[in-house]
Chains A and B, each alone.
Chain A
Amino acid sequence: MVRDEQLVFFIAIPGSGWAKIDSLLRKCSKWSFNTSDCTEDRKDEIISKGPGYYVEHKGHFIGPGTGYGEGFDNLPGNYTRGAFKAECLRVYAELNDTDHYMIKCHWFCEEHNLKWLVENFPNNKMIFVLRDKDKCDDRWLTSMSFEKNYPNYRRWMDVEDPDDEIGKHCPENIESFKRLNDWHNIQMRRFVRMAKKPTMIFCPTKYALDSMDYEWDEEGIKEYNAYIKNYMVNASLRARSPSWDTSIVFYNCTDILGYA
């Protein structure tokens, strides 16, 4: 039986690099995140950047268009507490009463959903990823497609576009994508600012990851290097100068972080 508090709500807008942050946090043993959602059919290596094989998106993504959480754009309208929890856990193959279960959904950004989550899961942890909205737009629009990559972003489209490709989107869909990202970004940041529970915001340096017992095995090194390579100031400064432009917001996570 999975207790409510084992669910960790993971929230960000597309293009923020949240998938990589998710991968880093899953290597932190203090979190003990369950990984039974990481199946072969749930990954996308198409947009790998830099040398070496790296799977950019792995594990579940929940929300309209992904096959799970089709009603997650409006939690209070579409779910009871129990039905929501069951839908969240449906992406995991193994359930126990000890692990944390990351629940990744862009649509949690919406104000009514955040309010509902806090009311129905008052003791749960939330993790947000903050990155400048324009950078998020630019990154996503130049590295993803709406329907041809994993995960599916059909819900961000305004019109059908069978020719949609990575970096080649029709103006209407670019506009609708940016509009939704803007809306979600504002609501998410407003929540963070007004957060009622202890909230720490920091970047994933080695020091910060070590404080959460990051595992520096082969996979851990690969994940960390991929994160650094993907967050350089620009190509000419590669390998030397990360922008550290992405912050992680830890809400109600004091027991894991060790901050009183």
Chain B
Amino acid sequence: MPEHFDERQLIFYAAIPGSGWSKLSLLLGCCANLNLNKSDRNPEREEIGKNGNTGLVHHKGAYWDPGMEFGQGFDDIARNYSKESFIEECLRGFTEHNDQNYLIRSHFFCEYKNLQWLTENFPNNRIIVVLRSVELSIQGWNEGMTFTNNYPNYQAWMRYPDEVHPENKEHFEGMLWKHDRMVRRWILENDDVIDIIQPNKKFINKLGYVWDDEGCEEYEKLVMVHQFFKSEVPMYDAPFAFYNCQDLW
């Protein structure tokens, strides 16, 4: 455990695959108020998507889920980790440790039992969830990703090792529906402390968005690929749900 580490530096980030959560997390990385540690980023942890180089890097940095680089046991945190070993696993993705916040991105945080464990063990920590319909998320993931040929690795969503086995698709979609249902149930149960907000310019500016080269690039990416998903006008179909975050704005 790094010296002077405060467990509230961990921000838990959850969503289902295809929700655009990666792009949205990169947007959060440009918000000064979140003060995110970016030392998990390196060239090996980048992905441009299965359609090749469109000039956009969709995935950057570390991910924590079974089959991915970190968080092999994050499908059942209570069973696989003590609080201390969980913190260590979260921090393992970062090379530099300082007073900045660590955004821990895991799809399996969506599991209801994991959300309960997180809120019981880290009652003062922030949790951020991206909400997007399962149908749109499935479409989004299928257009840009594969189970094992892109970064990050989604083998935990497969039932059979053959990438194109038809039952893998069904299994993948079933997991998305399950996780979506669970995370929305948790939100409903906590909606007296949760804000669900669309990331328009006004709002990200309230989060201290930095409009440097990186900031402009990430925002353009969000607008081009996400808010205008197959539409000439913004869809605003992927809001953030913020738990314990009201001090950020």
Contacts and interface: CB of A to CB of B under 8 A. Distances in A.
Contacts of A203: 196-197, 239
Contact of B196 (A199, A205, A228, A240): A205
Interface string B46-59: 00000000000000
A238 B191 CA distance: 17
Interface size class of A (residues with CB under 8 A): 20 to 34
B163 interface: no
A93 interface: no
Nearest to A204: B196
Interface stretch (B4-12, B22-30, B178-186): B178-186
Contacts of B181: 233, 237, 240-241
Which of B181, B198, B249 has the largest count of A CB atoms less than 10 A from its CB?
Answer: B198
A189 B234 CA distance: 7
B164 interface: no
Contact of A245 (B133, B185, B192, B202): B133
Contacts of B194: 205, 207
B232 interface: yes
Contact of A202 (B184, B185, B196): B196
Contact of A233 (B180, B206, B232): B180
B188 A242 contact: yes
A66 to B, nearest CB: 27
Interface size class of B (residues with CB under 8 A): 20 to 34
Nearest to A251: B202
A81 interface: no
A244 B196 contact: yes
Contacts of A189: 233-234, 236
Contact of A190 (B184, B206, B233, B235): B233
A67 to B, nearest CB: 31
B198 A241 contact: no
Given A130-B236, A132-B237, A202-B195, A240 B188 contact: yes
Contacts of A210: 192
Given A243-B184, A259-B206, A186 B192 contact: no
Contact of B185 (A193, A205, A240, A259): A240
A114 to B, nearest CB: 13
A200 B200 CA distance: 8
Nearest to A188: B233
Interface in B193-249: 193-198, 200, 202-203, 206, 232-237, 239, 241, 249
Interface in A205-254: 205-208, 210, 228, 233, 237, 240-245, 247
A198 interface: yes
B156 to A, nearest CB: 23
A57 B235 CA distance: 26
A242 B184 contact: yes
A192 interface: yes
A201 interface: yes
A202 B119 CA distance: 23
A99 B2 CA distance: 56
A150 B148 CA distance: 54
Given A205-B195, A207-B195, A259-B206, A186 B233 contact: yes
Contacts of A198: 202
Given A203-B239, A259-B206, A193 B198 contact: no
A173 B192 CA distance: 42
Nearest to B201: A199
B108 to A, nearest CB: 18
Interface of B: 131, 133, 180-181, 184-185, 187-188, 191-198, 200, 202-203, 206, 232-237, 239, 241, 249
9 contacts: A132-B235, A185-B233, A189-B233, A189-B236, A193-B233, A199-B202, A206-B192, A241-B185, A245-B237
Given A192-B234, A202-B197, 20 more contacts: A130-B236, A186-B232, A186-B233, A190-B233, A199-B202, A200-B197, A201-B198, A201-B236, A201-B239, A203-B196, A205-B187, A205-B195, A206-B192, A207-B192, A207-B195, A237-B181, A240-B184, A241-B181, A244-B196, A247-B196
